[in-house]
A and B are shown apart, each in its own frame.
Chain A
Amino acid sequence: MEEYVFNVLAGAKLTLQVAGGSLVVAVVLGLLGATAKLSTNKPLNWLAALYSTIIRGIPELVWMLLLFYGGQMLLNKVLESVGYNDYVEINPLFAGIVTIGFIYGAYMTETFRGAIMAIPKGQSEAGYAFGMSRSRVFFRIVVPQMIRLALPSFTNNWLVLIKATALVSVIGLTDMTMLAKQASAATRSLTPLAPMLFYLLVAAIYLAITTVSLIVLKQLDKRYSMGVRKGEF
């Protein structure tokens, strides 16, 4: 019995890996998307608009299945055409990270776009006047101020993203959800409560992760809001 519990707990590591990995992908895509949406280049605007529309219109699970199975098929077709005939399997961990990152990149795009827009233009203009390059202005002037404005919405996205990681069990990753399913099947003869027990454990772990995230992000928010005067009524 205990070994199954520890097994599920160990599965939390994979869940966190998926969550962390997809967060990195999502932030990168979100920054790219926000720059594309705010640029004066029309095709880039359209591309970014298309990205957020199709992501929001289609459920995560369908995206995951489409990218996992579809990506696999596409990769093998491409490899076949260049004369490589062995069947290649995509690592489900990689597929999960890329898919969740791809989906939440669209949400991060909106988060970052709003935050960048809220920073006064004069800030970056002053940077240019000092002879800073575009990327230096972005990372030295815009990003540090943007973090405070983006944090509330970023917190929301992160909480939803963590919960979305439970979906990777559907494409065959042995995360804690999958391990709980296996454990509850294996321990049925040991305890009559087996079916519920492991799912409750997983739910508790998710609850712990979201609670810790909330506390940490709140501290971060306090730190980045230092020196900002709130409206007093």
Chain B
Amino acid sequence: MDFSSIFEPDTLRMFAQAILVSLELTIISVVIGGLCAIPLAIMRVSRKRWLSLPVWLYTYIMRGTPMLIQVYLIYYGLAQLDIIQNNWDTVPLLKPFKDAFFCAVLAFTLNTCAYTTEMIAGAIRNTNHGEIEAARAMGMGNWQLMRRIVLPSALRRTLPAYSNEVIMMLQGTSLASTVPALTDITNVADRIRSEQYLVFEPYLTAGAIYMALTFTLVWLFKLAERRWLSYLQPRKG
């Protein structure tokens, strides 16, 4: 194996830019998806069927189909429809579909939002009954109860599961390489393979980068858990 062609300045620069693209894809989708997941989770646990049913359907569909198909549906499907292509210069709402990056982010966001919604909804359902009773006894209304008691603790308890979801998303961004116009980490490795006929070197480099990013994320979440979840840590001797 010969890694000298990987350590060329040009190749390294390509990888550096690709890391930024992958991180950008991850961060944007995780942040938007996570923020949308909170109201959706509240709807999901609602006792009103007309609120919870649509959210159930959404998470059921998104979690039951592969993310690759979702990316294809938006990039090769939605963005290739004549109705959209004919109008994206005039209708401002359709303009983003011209951009491969937007299509990928949209697919990733919809996907991660569905998984996160179910996670938060699960945590909300598991809230200790006594806490809710106490809040009611203090005279809190539904919204106040949600904002001050349920959400702060439910979001914290989601943290361990959520770290897995973020790592899954980081690795899921490798699917962006199947969309031609996007040069994420996997795409750069793919290019090096087809241009230089190298196989192990580019993919192992990409793998090492993903691994380093994954461990950084694991470490960051450990810090976050120590900050926000310390009251649930097992006590030491």
Contacts and interface: CB of A to CB of B under 8 A. Distances in A.
A100 to B, nearest CB: 12
Contact of B186 (A65, A73, A159, A164): A65
Interface string B143-167: 0000000000000000000000001
B207 A196 contact: no
A206 B65 contact: yes
DSSP class of A's interface residues: helix, strand, loop or mixed? Answer: helix
B12 interface: no
A207 interface: yes
A166 B73 contact: no
Contacts of B64: 159, 206-207, 210-211
Given A56-B214, A195-B80, A200 B73 contact: yes
B65 A207 contact: yes
Interface residues of A, number: 39
A181 B103 CA distance: 17
Interface in B195-222: 199-200, 203-204, 206-207, 210-211, 214-215
Contacts, number: 111
Given A61-B186, A62-B206, A65-B186, A196 B68 contact: no
Q: Which 7 A-B pairs rank lowest in CB-CB distance, beginning with the nearest?
A: A57-B211, A59-B171, A166-B66, A163-B66, A195-B80, A59-B174, A66-B203
Interface of B: 60-61, 64-70, 72-73, 76-78, 80-83, 167, 171-172, 174-175, 177-178, 186, 189-190, 193, 199-200, 203-204, 206-207, 210-211, 214-215
Interface of A: 54, 56-63, 65-66, 69-70, 72-73, 159, 163-167, 169-170, 177, 180-181, 184, 192-193, 195-196, 199-200, 202-203, 206-207, 210-211
